[in-house]
Structure formats: C-alpha cells, structure tokens
Structure 1
C-alpha cells in the first residue's frame, strides 16, 4: 500500500515540474515518460504534456539521428548511462526539426526513475531533419559548414591518436559514416584524407624540428613506419629522411 508521504512526494514533484520554466520530464524504469512539464512539451513541438506522457522517451526525444539514420535506443546515453550525466545531443521535434541541446539526468531515489532536463545549445540552430536520407538535406545547408568545422576541430584534437578514424569522427559528430563522408565530399575532400593530411603536416613539422623519422611517424599518429614512409613520399615527393631540419633562430 502506498503511504501518504509517498503520495505527497509524488504530487509535490509533479507540481514542481509543471511550474518549472525549463524543459523537464521523468523517465521511468521502462524508458517511458511518466511526468513532463509544458516547457518540455512545447520545446519538442507538442501541444501539452499529455501528448508525451506514457510514450517512449527515446522515440519522443530523437527517433532518428540528425542525418535521418536510425538511432537505436540501446545507443542512447540518456537511457544507458548510469547515475548523473551532463552532455550534448540532438533532439527531434514533433515536426521533424533537429535541435542541438544540452541535457542532464539525475536519478530519483531507488525507483529507477530518472529526471531529465534539457535546453537549446544554440537557440538559433534548428534545421529540418533528413527524411530517410543518409545526408543532411539541402534546406540544412547552413548547418553543414558548422558540422564540418566541428569535425575539423575534432580532427585537430585527435589526429595524433593512431586509432582515430572516420568512424570515431562520425561518433563525435553523432552522424553516420556515410553522412560524414558526404559532408566532406562537398569540398572535394574525405574524412580519411583529411586525417591523413593533418598527420603528414605534423610529421613534416616534427622532422623540420629535428625529430627522427621514427619519432615523427609515431608522434603524428602513424602506427606503421613503412606505410608512413610511402604516404609521406607520395604526398611530399620525397622520403621522410630527405626532410632537413630548419635552422634554429
């Protein structure tokens, strides 16, 4: 039997959620929305909280990825991450618009329920979602340069990691590999070629600072010395060992 205190606590939580100005909702242990406030419903394009109560939280938040590809629930960090969490994500509105958000979760007691709060990461960044396509649609043209710039920053931060690949870049951007390839193809490039180019430029800079070929190879993200030498020769027209250190000031 539910005691009076439990009933009071549930009613109090529902009241707090309803009056909060920020989007909030509660996800139960089955992954469904058990409580939601009007701010959350409006953020996602619904008339009121009644439209989302009882529905799958994952499907209501992002039934597909920004590029239109499927987003399995078991890959969703909101559902799978234990404990408290703060991260960024793309949500999909009822109309199909994709919105970048910052979200946080907080477990509620020992019931398995989780309180989710979220807000727009950029209030001006809303773009129509791709409808069954693997690439962002033409109407999302303004978003593609921003995505490409973000991926360039990710490459800059991670290219020295020999395990870093196009698949990792796609995961960072929360896009499919094919979508990442399509975005780079718009500038006659490819993500793999861009990662390789950045590694080669760094290797050349290391050699010019007096590093050994082996040090430049591993320090720039290449794991195989022979492959590094071939790639370097193809790109620069001479072997790594032919690169001379620059005069020191």
Structure 2
C-alpha cells in the first residue's frame, strides 16, 4: 500500500496489467464499491478522497484480499487545482491510469432561496468542476489504453429532469450526464468505454452529507411531482458501438 498526499514526491511504480483504476470518492458508498470490485478483478487501484484514514484501511483490505497495489491519494476536490496536482503526483509515481471512475460528489437539499451560497459553491466544485478537470487530465491515458480504457461518470436519475428542493444537485448531475454523452461521441472509434451511471436513491452517506433524508427511496416519490418515474431504469449506460 502507498499512502501519500498530492504534495509527496516519491519515485515511481510501474503500471500493471490490467490497467490501473483511479476512483474518486473511494472512502465510502458507490466509490468504495467500485474500488473493491476492480481490485477483486485484479486491477491496481488509486483511491482518492479527503479521508485518508478510511482510504488507508480500504487499501490494506484490498491488498490483503486481492494481491493488488492500492495507492492512497488524499486530496481536496473542491480545489480547482486538485485534478492537475493529482495528475502530476501520479506521473511522478509512474502510475498510468487506464480507467477513471468519477464518483466523488454530494448534494444539498432545501428551497434554493434558503441555500448557503458557500455550500453551493463547494457542491458545484465537487460535482461539476472536479469530474470535468479530472476527465480532461486523464483522458489521454484512457485513450492510450485503447479497448482496455474506460471512463465511468457517476451521475443520478436526478439528471433527467429538474428536481425542486435539490435543484443544484439535479442541475449538476444533468451536466455530468450531458458531458458524458458528448465525450462518448467524441471517443467513437477509440475503443474506450464511456459510461454514465445514473442510480436512484442509494443507501450511502449521501443523505447525511445533504443534511436531509427526505429524498430517500421510502419518501422521495412524495416530495415533488417531478420525482423520478418508477418505470425509469436506475442505471443509464452509454456504450460505444
């Protein structure tokens, strides 16, 4: 296990085959699930989040269980320089990313007029700016991986319509889904798989971070007439033909 901050300057390690997977938001929830699944399949993983203690524990677990290398990178994704700093750090470590999973994110809940502007700025930074800049930073190495390369953007069923009382979160996820579809088209013929994952309410720490559980699956359908229809699939995948 390698535990580092983005300021460290250790000498490199080589990329393994199958390609190394970078997962943001890997300390819990869906991100942790992606990291665990890829490690189980034999991929080395780069675990990115703020909570290094959780990442250290996960990295040790994955290495012990699956004989892979798990590199921990503690980073503050609201910082607009984070993507480039992470990229430069991995370059120094000799780690080439072939699969990128943009999973970090959080939502706010409540009437837009009552929302804290500073909290909204952080929400947009994490949910929109970070995945955009991380994707731009690592897309060349994903393309270099060819048919082994993949981009996975974790969006939401909220991306498919405006949702009052989580207005900014839904708008952020609409951006993510749209961006993913555009990148999928642009990468046609490269062999890189481009996926937009759009889950509905999921039992993670999301609601704790949002400060509200009103949109959990047992109550979300009552919240607004714009709620996600029950007939909509929980996952949307954009797959190159």
**What TM-score results when the alignment is normalised by the length of structure 2?**
0.29
Higher radius of gyration, 1 or 2: 1
Task: Report 1 or 2 for greater relative contact order, CA contacts < 8 Å, sequence distance ≥ 6.
Answer: 2
